[in-house]
Amino acid sequence: MRLVALIDRDLEKLARWVPQKEMELLTEVCERARRDSDLARPALLLCLAYAKRVARMLDQDPFPTVTRQIAERLQQLGAKSGL
């Protein structure tokens, strides 16, 4: 799954629990990742960190499928770049 597909659908879900200014920064990073594929991994890591933070805050993961997809995409990028 492409980063754009993940981000378009799921940033809104995160926005419910992430402060507005932090959400604006996350959105900006993701927008830049759309234009520069080198930023895909950092953007995904940031999204995953926020998803985990929300899960800890709520004592449950409100979007486990999204969290799993982000982790899978990170694995794919890592394998591709030899990380």
Could you tell me which residue, 82 or 48, shows the higher pLDDT?
48
Dist CA 11 CA 31 (whole Å)? 11
Per-residue confidence (pLDDT) for residue 83, from 0 to 100: 60
Dist CA 36 CA 67 (whole Å)? 22
Per-residue confidence (pLDDT) for residue 56, from 0 to 100: 92
Instruction: Specify the number of domains making up the chain.
Output: 1
Dist CA 6 CA 21 (whole Å)? 21
Do residues 50 and 56 touch, judged by C-beta distance below 8 A?
A: no
Rg (alpha carbons) of the chain, rounded to whole number: 12
Could you tell me which residue, 10 or 50, shows the higher pLDDT?
50
pTM: 0.78
Which range marks the domain in which residue 18 is found? 3-81
